[in-house]
Amino acid sequence: MRSLGFSFLLAWLMLFNVAQADVLDINAPAPRFELQDQNGDTHTLNDYQGKWLVLYFYPKDDTPGCTTEACAFRDEYKVITELNTQVIGVSVDDQESHVKFAEKYSLPFPLLVDDKGKVAKEYGALAALGPIKFAKRHTIIIGPEGKVKKVYRSVNASRHSQEVIADLKALRLEKAHF
């Protein structure tokens, strides 16, 4: 019941979001970031030069929609990595929460700690209502050269990983023709 209440609160907060979302332009340089993951390792955008990057923002560890999305990326991880792509999750939850979430669901990818919401804001994924801040369910595909290639502002958690895989394949084909 607590999860249902939290999900309702998040849905309500998203409807009345007062945070301003930055706009990301396709083919513009992706905003730089430097955040620690659940294991305390630091990740930067430069770490992924030469690879495709799926940077997905999500509201809260171990809630129904976020678990569905994370587990779908986990289940498709092999397919995604075979496309020379890394998946990274980002939320405003703390490191301890990320550790528990990653371990509970055997997530093979990093979960970055954006507890101040700075990176979420730069990517247009930060929502706030008064002092409560959380990341919206948004995903950005970043190309090997560090440029924004696709932005998802409306995400269905259960189908999203399949959508990302299809778009990665199309983007890779498009790049190969140029």
Q: Show which residues are catalytic.
A: 66
Q: DSSP per residue over 43-86, as a string? A: EEGGGGTTSEEEEEE-S-TTSHHHHHHHHHHHHTHHHHHHTTEE
Which residues are CB-contacts of 108 (< 8 A; sequence separation ≥ 6)? Answer: 74, 77
Which residues are CB-contacts of 177 (< 8 A; sequence separation ≥ 6)? Answer: none
Residue recorded with tokens 């397919």: 79
Is residue 55 within 8 Å of residue 123, measured between CB atoms?
Answer: yes
Residue 149 carries which side chain, given as an amino acid letter? Answer: K
Is residue 32 within 8 Å of residue 101, measured between CB atoms?
Answer: no
